[in-house]
């Protein structure tokens, strides 16, 4: 029996629920969580067609970032981070990098999470001075151990990924990698120590 066919709880306040109730809720949660990769892929599709004034649309930019990272021999997790780095553009217009980082955080290394979270400020090095902002805003993180990693990400896989002539891989190419990276969280308040040790 699938979670969607499983018994429903009847409590109306969480404080009234029992362990048995949360076994039912847990079965539904596991079923829902198993669809995360598909929801991420569907959300990436929302970037298709929106150029934001650039020479390519936001999806192509993301695909080009991942394609370049993959062709440079970056590992699968890094490639998926490159693919997802601007997924927040749709809902996090004013903090897109933080939103992308939040989606990735349970599944990626601390370094890759940091790169994605801060890439918006680091990317500013290439254009902030054209819009009245400080292009060196990233310098506030100079002492961070991941400063060079984030600067490198922006130089190699972000600021240069607006080329309509580049041989960019399609989204379908990255589906297996997305499914694998989002298959099992490493870090979440919803993972008990006993589950991590199992």
Cα–Cα distance, 60 to 170 (Å, whole number) = 8
Output the pLDDT for position 197.
45
> Does 44 map to a domain?
yes
More confident residue, 191 or 61: 61
More confident residue, 191 or 126: 126
Residue 193 has pLDDT above 90, yes or no: no
* CATH number of the domain enclosing 98: 1.10.3210.10
Going by pLDDT thresholds of 50, 70 and 90, the confidence category of residue 194 is: very low
> Does 107 map to a domain?
yes
Tens digit of pLDDT for each residue in 6-35?
A: 688 888 898 888 888 888 888 888 888 889
Quote the distance between the C-alpha of residue 51 and its chain's center.
20
> Does 164 map to a domain?
yes
**Domains held by the chain: number:** 1
Give the residue numbers spanning the domain of 130. Answer: 37-181
- Please answer whether residues 141 and 157 qualify as being in contact, where contact means their C-beta atoms are separated by less than 8 angstroms: no
> Does 12 map to a domain?
no
> Does 173 map to a domain?
yes
Tens digit of pLDDT for each residue in 51-103?
A: 989 999 999 999 999 999 999 999 999 999 999 999 999 999 889 999 999 99
> Does 123 map to a domain?
yes
> Does 188 map to a domain?
no
Output the pLDDT for position 21.
84
Tens digit of pLDDT for each residue in 162-186?
A: 999 999 999 999 999 999 999 989 8
Going by pLDDT thresholds of 50, 70 and 90, the confidence category of residue 198 is: very low
> Does 151 map to a domain?
yes
Cα–Cα distance, 1 to 7 (Å, whole number) = 10
């Amino acid at each position: 029996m699938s979670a969607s066919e499983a018994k429903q709880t009847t409590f109306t306040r969480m404080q009234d629920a029992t362990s048995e109730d949360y076994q039912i809720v847990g079965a539904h949660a596991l079923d829902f969580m198993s669809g995360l990769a598909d929801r991420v892929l569907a959300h990436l599709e929302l970037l298709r067609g929106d150029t934001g004034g650039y020479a390519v649309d936001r999806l192509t930019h993301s695909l080009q970032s991942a394609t370049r990272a993959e062709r440079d021999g970056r590992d699968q997790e890094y490639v998926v981070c490159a693919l997802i780095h601007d997924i927040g553009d749709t809902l996090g217009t004013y903090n897109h990098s933080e939103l992308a980082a939040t989606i990735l955080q349970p599944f990626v290394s601390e370094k890759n999470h940091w790169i994605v979270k801060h890439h918006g400020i680091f990317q500013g090095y290439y254009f902030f001075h054209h819009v009245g902002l400080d292009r060196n805003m990233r310098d506030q993180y100079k002492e961070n151990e991941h400063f060079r990693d984030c600067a490198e990400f922006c130089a190699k896989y972000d600021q240069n990924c607006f080329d309509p002539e580049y041989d960019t891989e399609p989204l379908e190419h990255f589906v297996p990698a997305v499914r694998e990276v989002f298959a099992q969280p490493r870090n979440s308040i919803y993972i008990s120590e006993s589950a991590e040790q199992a």
